[in-house]
Structure 1
């Protein structure tokens, strides 16, 4: 059986859009979803997909999250990396790769759960020999997001399309990546930067980036309306993942 890559969860954000719901000083990773912290659902989802090693990149709310973790009985190993200052998604990924020394990792946003089959995603990454893979999902209205344009055969990324005011379907970045550390660490990058806007968009021609468009269920708790929807969607998604394993 293929050994699962270690998973990096980016959970250092300020969560400003959820503060009206959660209150000041409350980390988004601990936001209650159906009576349990969102992070608990994420870790359970990863464990059911045979993940054994998780790296948590933390910043805002690190103390509260670390305290919560210390009281849990987990079936996987969790390593915490704390950002002394905000690094952006790109800086957090590079910091984790340098710190952990893992040759390859799966990277996930700490406010998102999908129905992605991680084993299939890793196999896609391995077989294609790409520098980086992006998991994508199709939405009926992509006007809120930028979309991904990719070759239907090779699934190689061609372009990131900007947000458009007109409602139209499209494939969007679901915030899950498989990365090759050697390729990423070979670039001369600033300490703080956005992984998508400051790096991926600028390196499409120099990197072999492949798109895995197999996500059908996707929930991001980053805004109050989606956080409310997550209260019933997340438990159903995790229950389904338990049946599929």
Structure 2
């Protein structure tokens, strides 16, 4: 398979925790960051890594997102898959993988950005002959996310642990997925990819962990959204200066 893989972005969420900041009409993927919608930064990051196409899974705010992509003309091919009703992260992933038809894809959340080599992540899926490769990152406060354990011998995801205060290794919400293997399974129409599938299927699904992740930014709550206003533009300026 050619690397890096095409990328599915889950951009259909309501952004309930940001309603007090964004209002009721703005989809979370279009939350302004440094005067520019978050999705613009995310598409730019994918284009810089040579991702051939971004597939946006749309739900709430679909028209606004389509209009933004049409007007911004990103440096990456963009296509769309729509949910007629909310399907949960798992339902959205399965629906989009079936609609797009690629044998393997990257999957990202439309409200997070992290520094990870997507080419290396894609290659690891092939080299490990895994079902899924999950990017993971160390954070100083894991209380919002819960942590994960890795089998030191195999690099497989071994367990999800309860949320706790303090540092830990967390799921960064970036995956490389063997779509052919995943879609051979039976799924409900609506489900959570992490809680209903990954947590309950660790014995039967080969999930490898790729922990070489730099900065991790989740704009899903007001405190981190405010932090992102300066951090994301700084990261992009730094990457230009290094180039």
Same fold (TM over 0.5): yes
Counterpart in 1 of 2:86?
Answer: 86
Q: For residues 2 and 224 of structure 1, do their structure 2 counterparts lie closer, same or farther at Cα, with a shift above 3 Å needed?
A: same
Counterpart in 2 of 1:155?
Answer: 155
Unaligned runs of 5+ in 1: none
Please identify, of 30-39 and 233-242, the stretch whose mean Cα deviation from structure 2 is larger. 233-242
The alpha-carbon deviation at position 67 of structure 1 amounts to 1.1
2:190 aligns with one of 187, 192, 203: 192
After superposition, the CA RMSD in angstroms is 1.5
Counterpart in 1 of 2:60?
Answer: 60
CA distance in 2, matches of 1:163, 1:72: 39
Q: How does 1:81-230 map to 2 (within 5 A)?
A: 81-164=81-164, 167-230=165-228
- Asked whether the 8 Å contact 1:131–1:180 carries over to 2, the reply is yes
The alpha-carbon deviation at position 169 of structure 1 amounts to 2.0
Counterpart in 2 of 1:29?
Answer: 29
CA distance in 1, matches of 2:233, 2:58: 24
- Asked whether the 8 Å contact 2:5–2:119 carries over to 1, the reply is no
- Asked whether the 8 Å contact 1:57–1:82 carries over to 2, the reply is yes
- Asked whether the 8 Å contact 1:48–1:241 carries over to 2, the reply is no
CA distance in 2, matches of 1:100, 1:156: 27
User: TM-score when scaled to structure 1?
Assistant: 0.95
CA distance in 2, matches of 1:236, 1:30: 19
The alpha-carbon deviation at position 141 of structure 1 amounts to 2.3
Q: For residues 205 and 241 of structure 1, do their structure 2 counterparts lie closer, same or farther at Cα, with a shift above 3 Å needed?
A: farther
User: TM-score when scaled to structure 2?
Assistant: 0.96
The alpha-carbon deviation at position 132 of structure 1 amounts to 0.3
